[in-house]
Chain A
Amino acid sequence: MAAAELLSQEFELGFTYTRSTGPVVGKFLTGLRDGKVYGVRGSDGRVLVPPAEYDPVTAAPLTDFVEVGQEGRLLSWCWVSEPREAHLLQQPFAWAMVQLDGADVPMIHCLEAPSAEAVTTGARVSISWADERQGFITDIRCFTLLQGAAS
């Protein structure tokens, strides 16, 4: 039997989803587009960011939106030394859990930093907005480290 040719081909499978946000996520994304961050207050008084659609304790719909700060505290992080093509930042960065001032839970996003050595848990960080915002989580380009003492 003759040796077969080695056949190889690249292809791309695309799922071109468009999703409805619903009113709560829509409020959050509209806020991002306008340069603001909204959370929602739960039945126990905690401010959840990004806003949850339903109360984690009572499961009731949540509508009490609260604008929170654009700086916060780094609760935990994981350094990515080799970013992949799909990552927002193409230089080494950290996945970060950031609790914004006025929020009671952290949210996940990227943290831009010169090196892993520059990052410490508890550091103060700030939102760096994208130049053009469109109502998407990437309107927050990333978080950046604030100089000064950790809180």
Chain B
Amino acid sequence: MSEPQADVTVVKSPVYLKYRFTAGSAPARFLGRLKEGVLTGQRCPRCSNVYIPARGSCPACGVPTEKEVVLSDKGTVQSFTIVSIPIPGNPIEPPYIVANIVPDGANISFIHLLSECVNEEVHIGQRVQALWKPAAEWGYSMDNIRYFRPLDEPDVAVDRIGKLPVTGLES
């Protein structure tokens, strides 16, 4: 006889979703320029909004977007969260900051890390800039940017976040 075992109180029930992502032409062009260390968006011919990463159409107008525009690697914090709980499989040690960042020249944000900052002092409207990995490590990935870090520039007023030109505050 084997020794008696404790009652079952938990079950492991993981869910694994397997994908094959194929980039369409717009994301492929975005990723191609990203591999060269350049952030690009696409401008809608109707409403002029600039989207990053571009999907090839404007979700507001429903028209194709074909015109690539080069964006700055400087941007503005539109929103952020301080992550305090470790996520399985994620090597980054909490607490760290995940931020929605609008790059200058674009009208919508993407999500990336914010570091080299005092977490408690991070705020909406804060100016930040990408810290890129060495060019030899660049691939088709936003990981080419190690993280964003604070920039010594004045804050952007909330109603101007997502509306700065590619030249940023200099205009």
In the complex, residue of chain B having the shortest beta-carbon distance to the beta carbon of A15: B15
Asked if A16 meets B88 with Cβ closer than 8 Å, knowing A21-B11, A26-B8, the reply is yes
Task: From B19-27, B112-120, B128-136, give the one contacting chain A.
Answer: B19-27
Q: How far is the CB of A23 from chain B (nearest CB, A)?
A: 9
Q: Is the beta-carbon distance between A29 and B8 smaller than 8 angstroms?
A: yes
Instruction: Verify if A20 is at the interface (C-beta below 8 Å from B).
Output: yes
Query: Which residues of chain A in 13-31 are interfacial with respect to chain B, using CB atoms and an 8 Å cutoff?
Result: 13-21, 26-27, 29-30
Q: Is the beta-carbon distance between A33 and B14 smaller than 8 angstroms?
A: no
Q: Is the beta-carbon distance between B10 and A20 smaller than 8 angstroms?
A: yes
Residues of B within 8 A of A7 (CB): 22-23, 27-28, 31, 140
Instruction: Verify if A135 is at the interface (C-beta below 8 Å from B).
Output: yes
Residues of B within 8 A of A29 (CB): 8, 11
DSSP majority for the B interface?
mixed
Q: Is the beta-carbon distance between B32 and A17 smaller than 8 angstroms?
A: no
Q: How far is the CB of A41 from chain B (nearest CB, A)?
A: 20
Q: Write the residues of chain B forming the contact surface with A, with a CB cutoff of 8 angstroms.
A: 5, 7-23, 25, 27-29, 31-32, 88-89, 140
Task: Kindly state the separation between the CA atoms of A58 and B14 in the bound complex, as whole angstroms.
Answer: 33
In order of increasing CB-CB distance, the 7 nearest A-B pairs are A135-B8, A4-B28, A7-B23, A29-B8, A8-B22, A13-B17, A15-B15
List 11 additional contacts besides A6-B23, A10-B20, A17-B13; criterion CB under 8 Å. Answer: A1-B29, A7-B23, A7-B27, A17-B15, A18-B12, A19-B10, A19-B11, A20-B9, A21-B11, A26-B9, A30-B7
Residues of B within 8 A of A12 (CB): 16-19
In the complex, residue of chain B having the shortest beta-carbon distance to the beta carbon of A32: B8
Asked if A8 meets B21 with Cβ closer than 8 Å, knowing A14-B89, A19-B11, the reply is yes
Residues of B within 8 A of A4 (CB): 25, 28-29, 32
Task: Kindly state the separation between the CA atoms of A14 and B14 in the bound complex, as whole angstroms.
Answer: 7
Asked if A135 meets B16 with Cβ closer than 8 Å, knowing A4-B25, A5-B28, the reply is no
Instruction: Verify if A9 is at the interface (C-beta below 8 Å from B).
Output: yes
Task: Kindly state the separation between the CA atoms of A6 and B31 in the bound complex, as whole angstroms.
Answer: 11
* Chain A 110-151 near chain B by CB (<8 Å), digits 1 or 0: 000000000000000000000000011000000000000000
Q: How far is the CB of A13 from chain B (nearest CB, A)?
A: 4
In the complex, residue of chain A having the shortest beta-carbon distance to the beta carbon of B88: A16
Q: Is the beta-carbon distance between A21 and B25 smaller than 8 angstroms?
A: no
Q: How far is the CB of B71 from chain A (nearest CB, A)?
A: 18
Asked if A15 meets B8 with Cβ closer than 8 Å, knowing A9-B20, A10-B20, the reply is no
Task: Kindly state the separation between the CA atoms of A75 and B23 in the bound complex, as whole angstroms.
Answer: 47
Q: Is the beta-carbon distance between B9 and A16 smaller than 8 angstroms?
A: no
Asked if A17 meets B14 with Cβ closer than 8 Å, knowing A5-B32, A7-B31, A8-B21, the reply is yes
Residues of B within 8 A of A13 (CB): 16-17, 19
